[in-house]
Amino acid sequence: MAEETPPVDEMHYDALAQDALRGVIRLALERAAMPEGIPGAHHFYITFKTRAAGVSVPPDVLAKYPEEMTVVLQHQYWDLTVEPTRFSVMLKFGGMPKVLSMPYTAVTRFYDPSVQFLLQFEEPVTVDEIMQEIEVAEPAKAPAPSDDDGPKVVSLDQFRKK
């Protein structure tokens, strides 16, 4: 029996579904940004990667949460701004107001415990991972080719201890 190769998903349905579910987060945050705030007993636990591309977190908060953090939007949040691809919010840390801003792609979990509603997402790419990919992708800089195929003379003076 011949093995068949599985079909290739050129539509990338997994990514499309992830984006659509992130739209649910955006719509929930739009309601929370209204003057009335979050309706009823609803409240949100939003977990995100602090080093994901596009995330802006104050340095002291990043030092405390270098990989991932969860914020709670319930009673005390300010200046919630919801955009098509990202949101920002002011929260208090140790009594001091701090603004956090992130793309929806940085969110790994969105949970509303009042109705047991949970969305979980694949891990986003971090800035560190992007930088590693760039370093690997850049070809090593080779010396310019010379027309001289003869032996090379290297001065050892530069390697001697002074």
pTM over 0.85: no
Tens of pLDDT, residue by residue over 88-139, are: 999 999 999 999 999 999 999 999 999 999 999 987 666 666 666 667 666 5
What are the φ and ψ backbone dihedral angles of 106, each rounded to 5 degrees? -80, -15
Query: Residue 124 sits in which domain range?
Result: 13-133
Read off the pLDDT band of 158 (50, 70, 90).
low
Type and span of the H or E element at 99: strand 96-103
Contact call for residues 113 and 43 (beta carbons, < 8 A): yes
Identify whether 89 is part of a domain: yes
- Give the whole-angstrom CA distance, residue 21 versus residue 13: 12
pLDDT at 155: 52
pLDDT at 78: 95
Q: Please count the other Cβ atoms lying within 10 Å of the Cβ belonging to residue 57.
A: 21
CATH number at residue 36: 2.30.30.220
pLDDT at 13: 87
Identify whether 147 is part of a domain: no
Number of domain units in the chain: 1
Residue 156 pLDDT more than 70? no
Higher pLDDT, 112 or 156: 112
Identify whether 78 is part of a domain: yes
Contact call for residues 88 and 81 (beta carbons, < 8 A): yes
Identify whether 4 is part of a domain: no
Identify whether 146 is part of a domain: no
Identify whether 31 is part of a domain: yes
- Give the whole-angstrom CA distance, residue 103 versus residue 45: 16
Angle ∠(44,45,48) on CA atoms, nearest 5: 125
Identify whether 57 is part of a domain: yes
Identify whether 105 is part of a domain: yes
Tens of pLDDT, residue by residue over 64-89, are: 999 999 999 998 999 999 999 999 99
